[in-house]
Structure 1
Amino acid sequence: MLENKSGLYAAFMAKDTRFDGRFFVGISSTGIYCRPVCRAKQPKAENCTFYHTAAEAEQAGYRPCLLCRPELAPGSSIADATANLVYRAARMLEENCGSGQSLGEISERLGCTDRHLRRVFTAEYNVSPVQYLQTCRLLLAKNLLTDTDLPVLEVAMAAGFGSLRRFNDLFKKHYYLSPTALRKRTLEEKKHNSDVTLALGYRPPYPWEEMLRFLAGRVIPGIDIVKDNTYMRTVHSVTAEGKHVYGWVRVGHRPQKNALTVTVSETLLPVLPQVLARVRHLFDLYCDPDAVYETLRVMNDIRPGLCVLGTRLPGCFNAFEMAVRAVLGQQITVKAASTLAARIVDTYGMPIQTGIEGLTRVFPSPEDILALDGPIENHFGPLGVIAARSRTIYELARAIVQGEINFDLPVQPEEEIKKLMTIRGIGSWTAQYVAMRAMEWPDAFLETDVGVKKALQPFTSKELLEMSEAWRPWRSYATTNLWNTL
């Protein structure tokens, strides 16, 4: 893409949102780098150099623009690149930039050596994984300094810097501005706000109301709520040191900025990058809607309006929670599954204090389920869960705890789907549905789903499966489009 410099400059001049996050522009006359949607005075073409990532622009000596704020640019979809391994690595580096996780640990999770990961990562991005990680930390810190009133020390720790001195040195070296100087400039432009609120960008159009409607139909009382055009939920996470942290998150919409606002409780600062990554996953902020629509627009040949530009794939915040809901929802209504999930949460979910009405507990972890004494059906049976599904949930928890199934950006989702289907009580529909929402697998298809069949009646399941071949690799989005027509 970067070889077509005239085309990129044209996209930069047009402020085309389709390219936001797909490249960055270094401007030699100012020494800054911008997003392609930046509204600053347009530089001359000969002063522009184009980069794949913010990290590459920073390694070339550019500092981030304070107007368009490169830290708000949307990321890349997991299916955007031919080198899927590299994109998965980049996502993991973003998610774990505050945890101190080593490159060796990340490469092990990806199923390759750290030497191989360094080689392919540098070939794709023109920066090393360590350099990319450093930029992730600096941009997260810049976001926190700009949008929150957190003390500089807390900003440094939340962004993954080991010490305040190291943070100050790197910030000054790369941005020619101290953290406190940036804070003074931004505080003059905003009112005091005690909340820790950040913005996460997306590529428009974004169907905020549809996403909220989908989530509202699947809320679990005590865990999450949809209210006043926002989504709120409780959070349980574990730090790199093994400490359990609890809190809450609230997500709103800022359409004029093409961004979601994310407010987190202060207790979650030690795991802030992980929380932000989960929000991006839940609301599908990495999606490139134009790329998806380019393939799926043929659906409109079947019937006008089947595919809508901008449709997102609702992900999940807690993979085990979502998978349990999927198991509970087999052969019953969505509302009935919510009722059963609420009973499990009331009985086995840990109570927490959030100060927000309706957010009172966190969902039981796989370890919590395995720790229950006696047969699992003795615990879940009185709650209305049949014995077969109770045992399926127990086996799912066991497989997760023992590392037999990987929900976290698996290299081969099809293999994880097969593993899920070895668990008694999990069939093709459940496995594909879990892959869609928990594994961010964009190519799952639910040809036996009642909603899918209703949207495309009178076609049979076999005919639907054959028809869906033309929708690869975005069949999960095709499924969502079909649901939205009902």
Structure 2
Amino acid sequence: MILDRKICQKARLSRDARFDGKFFTAVKTTGIYCRSICPVSPPKEENVSYFDSAIECAQAGYRPCLRCRPDSAPNSPAWKGVNATLDRALALIDQGCLQEHSLAYLAERLGISDRYLRQLFKRHLGTSAKNYALYQQCLFAKHLLHQTKLPITEIALASGFDSVRRFNDCFKKQLQLTPSQLRKSTQASDNKITVKLYYQPPYNWPVMQATLAARAIDKLEWCTKESYGRSFTWQNSHGYFTATHLAEQNCFEVNIVISEISQLKAVTHNIKRILDLNADLQHIESDLKHCLPSTFTFNSGIRLPGIWQLFEAGVRAILGQQISVAAARTLVSQLVDNLGEPYGDMRLFPSPHAIANSDLAFFKMPQARKNTLKNLANFYLEHQDNSEPQQWLALKGIGPWTVNYAQMRGLSDPDIFLGADLGVKKALAQSHHEFSPEQAAPWRSYLTFQLWSQL
């Protein structure tokens, strides 16, 4: 990606937060790279180089600034969204795929050759997939060193390293800093971790909060005027989090309790997904406005509220078929109350095994709907992580709306238009606008939520 120097210069000198994360400034005389909003005195233009991503700065030999902490910048590189395969690869790496598996396994998951995967990373990021993964692990560790009192040993594990020695070596190599330069003490704390997760404005929290609150399940989720939280399971770990919106700082302060510290990075990434913190909404909204009539009342800052896992999204979609949001919430609450594993004062969402082995007699619904739930649970038990929503169409009782809804909220797919949804149809009828949803690609999920916001 070739950046325009004049535009970057104006943006960094203005320190406008809207450019935060869209490029990074590297200073040749100090060997440091910064965010566009860095508070230090701006360097002379002849001493500056501009990069599209933080990892490109690191590959060029620069180390991160300790003042503006570029690891906290919203993740919105200009190429993001251009290559769906690369987006999927990055998502799987952020979930820890290369910590547990080989590059060949990742390529197989993506349905491409490992040679082509290497080419994608080289072309768009200028580095290898493995090096990208290590760099992200180090940035996450740096985040924890700044914001928590976790011992360095636990930070190493939380970041995906199997030893402190490897962590120290990799951290110094990738960031040209040692953990001790960021951390003066390594006092142990309890298992409650607090981090700040930043986003690029606009962010319409009232609409996001209303969407989450209307569907929140007692004992599984909690929602206040300024926060959202829930219990969760992730692979072999469980825990809960509460994310509090700090509008003036363009971030969420997130308190996390987790049983397995090694899963913290993946869990944090998933929290960012369900709150849709990585979206470059200015770009998305600019595209959407071009395909909507000028008379359309556009609600700026509307994000995609995610559901914790794809299986849960599928279950919620099945229970929400052709009924109101309130009625669906009642059914999901009954499922959690009866089959959710107790976790302190909370409950965890029922596992596929729990649903598959229940007769679901507590539901007052047709047996066919119960069978659909059990079919999905059994399908998940057979296919595990290789389940793709489109494969669900072979299951009796699951149609396109259910698959699309689960894909939009369980995978945060940005390009799903729920044209058959009753709410979308009602919004279209009320608006009296004529336009083609296909013109909104690849952001049709955002169009769907725009229409829902009109109700």
Task: Assess same fold via TM > 0.5.
Answer: yes
Q: Alignment RMSD, CA only?
A: 2.6
Measured after TM superposition, the shift of residue 255 of structure 1 is: 2.0
State whether residues 316 and 322 of structure 1, in contact with CA within 8 Å, keep that contact through their aligned partners in structure 2: yes
Equivalent residues in 2 for 1:146-295 (5 A)? 146-184=146-184, 195-227=192-224, 229-238=226-235, 244-295=236-287
After superposition, give the CA deviation of every residue in 1:98-140 in whole Å (9 maximum; x if it has no partner). Answer: 9433323222211122232112211211111121111111111
- Give the equivalent residue in structure 1 for 2:373: 393
Distance in 2 (alpha carbons) for counterparts of 1:216 and 1:459 = 25
Q: Does 1:314 find its partner at 2:294?
A: no
Measured after TM superposition, the shift of residue 8 of structure 1 is: 2.2
Distance in 1 (alpha carbons) for counterparts of 2:169 and 2:431 = 63
State whether residues 238 and 258 of structure 2, in contact with CA within 8 Å, keep that contact through their aligned partners in structure 1: no
Give the 3-state SS of the residue equivalent to 1:89 in structure 2.
helix
Q: Where do 4+ consecutive residues of structure 1 move more than 4 Å?
A: 404-407
Distance in 1 (alpha carbons) for counterparts of 2:378 and 2:240 = 27
Distance in 2 (alpha carbons) for counterparts of 1:73 and 1:27 = 17
Distance in 1 (alpha carbons) for counterparts of 2:82 and 2:429 = 35
- Give the equivalent residue in structure 2 for 1:432: 404
Normalising by structure 1, we get a TM-score of 0.86
Measured after TM superposition, the shift of residue 417 of structure 1 is: 5.4
Distance in 1 (alpha carbons) for counterparts of 2:329 and 2:144 = 36
Distance in 1 (alpha carbons) for counterparts of 2:77 and 2:222 = 27
Distance in 2 (alpha carbons) for counterparts of 1:141 and 1:97 = 17
Distance in 2 (alpha carbons) for counterparts of 1:78 and 1:126 = 14
Distance in 2 (alpha carbons) for counterparts of 1:78 and 1:329 = 37
Give the 3-state SS of the residue equivalent to 1:444 in structure 2.
coil
Give the 3-state SS of the residue equivalent to 1:457 in structure 2.
helix
Measured after TM superposition, the shift of residue 11 of structure 1 is: 2.3
Do the aligned partners of residues 285 and 222 (structure 1) sit closer, same or farther apart at CA in structure 2, a change above 3 Å counting? same
After superposition, give the CA deviation of every residue in 1:311-342 in whole Å (9 maximum; x if it has no partner). Answer: 11112212211211111011222112111111
Distance in 2 (alpha carbons) for counterparts of 1:155 and 1:468 = 45
Distance in 2 (alpha carbons) for counterparts of 1:13 and 1:97 = 39
Distance in 1 (alpha carbons) for counterparts of 2:453 and 2:77 = 22
Measured after TM superposition, the shift of residue 479 of structure 1 is: 1.0
Distance in 2 (alpha carbons) for counterparts of 1:26 and 1:65 = 10
Give the 3-state SS of the residue equivalent to 2:436 in structure 1.
helix
- Give the equivalent residue in structure 2 for 1:366: 352
Gaps of 5+ in 1: 239-243, 354-358, 408-415
Do the aligned partners of residues 288 and 422 (structure 1) sit closer, same or farther apart at CA in structure 2, a change above 3 Å counting? same
Do the aligned partners of residues 439 and 228 (structure 1) sit closer, same or farther apart at CA in structure 2, a change above 3 Å counting? closer
Letter of the 1:226 counterpart: C
- Give the equivalent residue in structure 1 for 2:289: 297
Do the aligned partners of residues 79 and 114 (structure 1) sit closer, same or farther apart at CA in structure 2, a change above 3 Å counting? same
After superposition, give the CA deviation of every residue in 1:26-69 in whole Å (9 maximum; x if it has no partner). Answer: 11122111122222211122222222322221121111111221
State whether residues 98 and 158 of structure 1, in contact with CA within 8 Å, keep that contact through their aligned partners in structure 2: no
Gaps of 5+ in 2: none
State whether residues 158 and 271 of structure 1, in contact with CA within 8 Å, keep that contact through their aligned partners in structure 2: yes
Measured after TM superposition, the shift of residue 78 of structure 1 is: 11
Letter of the 2:155 counterpart: V
Measured after TM superposition, the shift of residue 285 of structure 1 is: 1.2
Measured after TM superposition, the shift of residue 141 of structure 1 is: 0.6
- Give the equivalent residue in structure 2 for 1:94: 94
Distance in 2 (alpha carbons) for counterparts of 1:57 and 1:185 = 29
Give the 3-state SS of the residue equivalent to 2:165 in structure 1.
helix
State whether residues 316 and 332 of structure 2, in contact with CA within 8 Å, keep that contact through their aligned partners in structure 1: yes
- Give the equivalent residue in structure 1 for 2:438: 469
Distance in 2 (alpha carbons) for counterparts of 1:228 and 1:315 = 18
After superposition, give the CA deviation of every residue in 1:226-269 in whole Å (9 maximum; x if it has no partner). Answer: 1352111111111xxxxx22211111112222111221114242
Normalising by structure 2, we get a TM-score of 0.92
Measured after TM superposition, the shift of residue 79 of structure 1 is: 8.5
Distance in 1 (alpha carbons) for counterparts of 2:330 and 2:165 = 51
- Give the equivalent residue in structure 2 for 1:443: 415
State whether residues 312 and 410 of structure 2, in contact with CA within 8 Å, keep that contact through their aligned partners in structure 1: no
Q: Does 1:381 find its partner at 2:361?
A: yes
Distance in 1 (alpha carbons) for counterparts of 2:190 and 2:335 = 37
Letter of the 1:336 counterpart: A
State whether residues 55 and 131 of structure 1, in contact with CA within 8 Å, keep that contact through their aligned partners in structure 2: no
Distance in 1 (alpha carbons) for counterparts of 2:286 and 2:253 = 28
Distance in 2 (alpha carbons) for counterparts of 1:186 and 1:45 = 39
State whether residues 191 and 258 of structure 2, in contact with CA within 8 Å, keep that contact through their aligned partners in structure 1: no
State whether residues 233 and 248 of structure 1, in contact with CA within 8 Å, keep that contact through their aligned partners in structure 2: yes
Q: Does 1:136 find its partner at 2:132?
A: no
Do the aligned partners of residues 169 and 94 (structure 1) sit closer, same or farther apart at CA in structure 2, a change above 3 Å counting? same
Equivalent residues in 2 for 1:406-421 (5 A)? 416=388, 418-421=390-393
State whether residues 151 and 186 of structure 2, in contact with CA within 8 Å, keep that contact through their aligned partners in structure 1: no
- What is the number of residues matched between the two proteins? 454
Distance in 2 (alpha carbons) for counterparts of 1:290 and 1:170 = 35
Question: Given the alignment, which residue of 300, 317, 336 partners 1:345?
Answer: 336
Letter of the 2:446 counterpart: Y
Greater displacement, 384-393 / 209-218: 384-393
Distance in 2 (alpha carbons) for counterparts of 1:183 and 1:204 = 31
State whether residues 405 and 420 of structure 1, in contact with CA within 8 Å, keep that contact through their aligned partners in structure 2: no
Greater displacement, 34-43 / 206-215: 34-43
Q: Does 1:119 find its partner at 2:154?
A: no
Give the 3-state SS of the residue equivalent to 1:421 in structure 2.
helix
Question: Given the alignment, which residue of 360, 382, 394 partners 1:422?
Answer: 394
State whether residues 199 and 262 of structure 1, in contact with CA within 8 Å, keep that contact through their aligned partners in structure 2: yes
Measured after TM superposition, the shift of residue 400 of structure 1 is: 2.7
Do the aligned partners of residues 148 and 418 (structure 1) sit closer, same or farther apart at CA in structure 2, a change above 3 Å counting? closer
Give the 3-state SS of the residue equivalent to 1:382 in structure 2.
coil
Distance in 2 (alpha carbons) for counterparts of 1:97 and 1:65 = 29
State, as a whole percentage, how many aligned pairs show the same letter: 37
